[in-house]
Amino acid sequence: MVKSLKHLLLIAYGITCIYPFLWMFGTSLKTSQDALVNPQSPIPNGALQWGVFAEVWNKLNFAKFFMNSAIVSVAVIVGIIFIYSMMGYSFAKFNYKGKKLVYYTFIALLLVPGVTILIPLYINMTNLGLANSYIGIILPMINGGAPFAIFLFTSYFRTISHELYESAVLDGCGSFKIYYRIYLPLAMPAIGTIAIINFIGSWNNILWPMIIVDTKDFFTLPMGLMYLDSSSFKKWNELMAGAIITIFPILVSFPFLQKMYVKGMTIGSVKM
């Protein structure tokens, strides 16, 4: 009895989690007439309109947007993992002057409101000639991912037994080799978590690309979606097809992401 009540509660919450996605999917398969007249039902009237996807894909250059999003996300993730795992390793393994100052400066960045530094950042990147370029989109996003990545890598490297380090030194390994060959591979769970969080963050980011990019050549998917919204008034079926295209990589990979994420999450939060 208690058990079925528990399931009831968990299922009810599960439905609220899934429903928006059902609606998104159902609406994208409707005719525009049906989507406008029966917006309350996620089930299309009549034949499923798979053609909407192709229409939307070709109407705007979604293939290009997709590529742009992929390039940006991959570069951001790889950059963050390399740059900040090195910093985390340094914070976790060495004693030196100024360590605390640097560490807390970076952590405090977490609270800096993104919108505020957008203005000088925009001016800065434009002066460097990086407006409308991949580098211009990517670098600030890497910097923005710093606090969380540093925090997680530092905590994680601290949990790795120090004897490992000492025996590597005895075997004649230098600091960099120890980082690259031993600590980085051991940090897979932390890398997974950071990769996921920054994948989602950079994939969904609209604010920064919206400001630094003004030609469609460098539009990312979310910008494409906003453009679609402004160019097809109240065509919910098209908008939802665009929305699905936008989050498709997240939707297909989420069970896998979930496993990695849960593994890594316990490092940062519980072992504090």
Q: Give the nearest distance from C-beta 263 to other proteins in angstroms.
A: 10
Could you tell me the CA-to-CA distances from 31 to 37, 54, 236 in Å, in that order?
Answer: 10, 14, 9
Sole window of 49-57, 60-68, 185-193, 253-261 interacting with other proteins (rule: CB under 8 A): 253-261
Sole window of 44-52, 55-63, 69-77, 143-151 interacting with other proteins (rule: CB under 8 A): 143-151
Q: Give the nearest distance from C-beta 207 to other proteins in angstroms.
A: 6
Q: Give the nearest distance from C-beta 185 to other proteins in angstroms.
A: 17
DSSP secondary structure letters along 187-236? THHHHHHHHHHHHHHHHH--HHHHHH--SGGG--HHHHHHHHHHHSTT-H
Segment 197-236, which members bind other proteins (CB under 8 A)? Answer: 200, 203-204, 206-207, 211, 222, 225-226, 229, 236
Of 216, 205, 195, 71, residue with least CA distance to 135: 71
Q: Give the nearest distance from C-beta 232 to other proteins in angstroms.
A: 12
Segment 60-119, which members bind other proteins (CB under 8 A)? Answer: 82-84, 86-87, 89-90, 93-96, 99, 102, 106, 108-119
Q: Which two tokens stand for residue 100?
A: 């605390």
Instruction: Supply the DSSP symbol for 182.
Output: I
Specify the residue, 19 or 50, whose C-beta has the smaller distance to other proteins: 19
Specify the residue, 71 or 200, whose C-beta has the smaller distance to other proteins: 200
> ∠148-247-74 over CA atoms, to 5°?
50
Sequence-distant (6+) residues with CB within 8 A of 84 are 145, 146, 149, 150, 153, 194
Instruction: Determine, following the binding rule CB under 8 A, whether residue 27 of this chain makes contact with other proteins.
Output: yes
